């Protein structure tokens, strides 16, 4: 998948995501609730990361993903799963938001998530 496929605004089954991709690193804001940090597989189609423990799988065409998360844990395997799916927004929204706080990323992540079966 092309670099940047996770980039942009996503309309999801939870509040919207605003993601940035730099190589295999993906990070962004979960509409006022916090930040997501993750890494993709080598092909860029599977994203594993942190908001609890999450795993997203990009569907063919790159316009939507299916995913699962467990907000109660920070590593895999999941103890309980909640579905979290999304579609890439086609409307370009322009806004400015200043962030002056500090984000405390964990020093180590468990990215050994399984591949979601579509």
- pLDDT single digits (tens) 45-65: 999 988 778 899 999 988 999
Given a cut of 90, whether residue 74 has pLDDT beyond it is no
Q: What is the pLDDT of residue 20?
A: 92
Please tell me the total count of domains within the chain.
Answer: 1
Asked if residue 16 is part of any domain, the answer here is: yes
Question: How high does pLDDT run on average in the chain?
Answer: 76
For residue 112, how many C-alpha atoms fall within 13 Å in the half-sphere facing its CB? 5
Tens of pLDDT along 24-51? Answer: 999 999 887 788 899 999 889 999 988 7
- pLDDT bracket for residue 77 (50, 70, 90): low
Report DSSP state, residue 13: S
Spell out the residues 6+ positions from residue 110 whose beta carbon is closer than 8 angstroms to its own.
53, 74, 75, 76
Asked if residue 23 is part of any domain, the answer here is: yes
Higher pLDDT residue, 90 or 108? Answer: 90
Asked if residue 93 is part of any domain, the answer here is: no
CA distance 4 to 89: 14
22: domain range?
8-88
Tens of pLDDT along 91-100? Answer: 544 544 555 5
- pLDDT bracket for residue 76 (50, 70, 90): low
pLDDT over 90, % of the chain:
33
Q: What is the pTM of this model?
A: 0.72
What token pair was written down for 31? 């509409």
Asked if residue 32 is part of any domain, the answer here is: yes
Q: What is the pLDDT of residue 46?
A: 93
Q: Comparing C-alpha atoms, which of 11, 31, 8 is closest to residue 97?
A: 31
Q: Is 108 left (phi over 0), alpha (psi -120 to 50) or beta?
A: beta
CB 28 within 8 A of CB 70: no
């Amino acid at each position: 998948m092309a670099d940047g496929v996770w980039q942009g605004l996503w309309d999801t089954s939870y509040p919207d995501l605003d993601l940035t991709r730099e190589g295999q690193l993906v990070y962004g804001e979960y509409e006022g609730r916090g930040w997501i940090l993750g890494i993709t597989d080598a092909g860029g189609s599977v994203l594993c990361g942190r908001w609890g423990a999450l795993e997203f799988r990009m569907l063919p065409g790159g316009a939507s993903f299916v995913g699962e998360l467990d907000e109660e844990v920070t590593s895999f395997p999941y103890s309980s799963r909640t579905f979290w799916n999304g579609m890439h927004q086609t409307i370009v929204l322009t806004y400015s938001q200043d962030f002056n706080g500090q984000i405390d990323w964990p020093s180590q992540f468990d990215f050994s998530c399984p591949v979601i079966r579509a």
